[in-house]
Amino acid sequence: MGVKQLFDLTGKVALITGGSRGLGLQMAEALGEMGAKLALTARKADELAEAKAHLEKLGIEAITVASDLSKFDQIPGLVDAVLKHYGKLDILVSNAGATWGSPAENYPDDAWMKVINLNLNGMFFLTREVGKRCFIPQKSGKIIVTASIAGLRGNPPEMGTIAYNASKGADVNFVRALASEWGRHNINVNAICPGFFPSKMANGLIDTLGEKIIAGTPLGRIGGPEDLKGLVVLLASEAGRHISGQAIAVDGGSMAF
């Protein structure tokens, strides 16, 4: 098989959570450009509609399903909607996430639960549903979790994101454990660990700590609108079929320090 064929996603169906904007939409663009049919989910129907219109202008087929992954009872219905429309699912990109800033000693209980429920619990329950109903029966599947370099190390103390760091660290070990368990079903499980990228979640920190972030990044910049595209296509395609259980940083080299 030629290299272009290895990266080709024609005929594949991908579900992207948190796919209406930011990193999720960037990855959706990449998978769609390589031929995948898309299902996007997020909480806000208006943002999903904007994302769908944007993708369709690029010639990418997409459906949208408004769903809140922190409300676990909505998860089976989300998978139902994708299967009803496309009849199958090949790729799951678990990108939806939340954060909250507070010193650890004053961290609110409800804030902790909000972050953990979306970043870890909802991600697992959706993965379990997709694995049980789609990937294990068909003996194939690609699972890609958006973790973070915050799951690979600590943060400057002024950031105060203990729940986010804890959840993303759990995500990293989740992909290692699940890759070990589901490899026998021909399922690849990996994590992408972005550094700082412009997004609704990160913009406040970038505004506050931008110079410090760039000074600690060997490439001297924050992430851009195309910097996750190559990796997500690699991990979603046959080009990455022998990669599993990995957490790959996309951070301009900041983890090299």
In terms of Cβ atoms closer than 10 Å to its own Cβ (0-12, 13-18, 19+), residue 114 is middle
Sorted by sequence, the CB contacts under 8 Å of residue 179 that are 6+ apart come out as: 187, 188, 189, 190, 244, 245, 246
Give how far the C-alpha of residue 80 lies from the chain's centroid of Cα atoms, to the nearest Å: 20
Dihedral angle computed from the Cα positions of residues 88, 176, 95 and 240, in that order, rounded to the nearest 10 degrees: -60
| Active site amino acids | 164
Longest dimension (CA), the chain: 56
Residue 194, strand partner residues: 250
